[in-house]
Structures are given as C-alpha cells and as structure tokens.
Amino acid sequence: MANLYQKAIYDMVLEFAGQQRNLTVPRFFIELLEGDIVAALLLSQIIFWRGNTLYGKHGIAKSNDDILSELGIASHKTGRIIKKLLPVGVSINRRPSQ
C-alpha cells in the first residue's frame, strides 16, 4: 500500500515538475535584457518556437492567449517586452487573440 502511495506522489511530482513543464532561460538572455527575466523567457521561447514549428524561417504565430497559456505572461506585459526585444533584433508582429 505504501508503495502505491509513493508511486502516486512520484507520478504527480513528475507531472508538475517534469521536463514538459519547465521553461529554460539562458543566463546570457537575462544579461542581454538587463536582468528582465520575463523578457528573457519570451526571447528564449521565440527561439524555441522558430526551431520547432512548420513556419521555420517564416516566423511563428502566437496570440496573447497562446503566450499566456504556454508561458504565463499576461498580455499587458507582452507589449512592454516586445519593445524591449526590438533593440536586440527581434521583430514581432502580434496577431489578435481568437
């Protein structure tokens, strides 16, 4: 019985802390964006999305709702972050939420 309980807890921890639920932010991005971890997170994900989508070199399509769902970044913060990413060479065209 104890083993079943331990396995259930272990499975729950894996569900919430496993690789699928982690977001990685390279320290260089944090430094590049003057300590703004949230902006660094979005930059990191943009690079990830570009490399892992059908769009490839042509860009990605993410709405504010997509960004909130995948990263937990509210739409009122994305505008500020986008302005901060422009000087480092990231061009973003936002699409409306559906």
Residue 10 is inside which H or E element, if any? helix 2-17
pLDDT higher at 18 or 49: 49
Which pLDDT score is estimated for 7? 85
CA distance 24 to 68: 16
DSSP class of residue 68 equals H
Taking only the tens place, the pLDDT of each residue in 37-92 is 999 999 998 888 877 655 556 667 788 888 888 899 998 898 889 889 988 888 76
DSSP class of residue 79 equals H
- pTM (two decimals): 0.72
Domain residue ranges of the chain, discontinuous segments joined by + = 2-88
Cα torsion angle, 52, 57, 61, 67, sign: positive
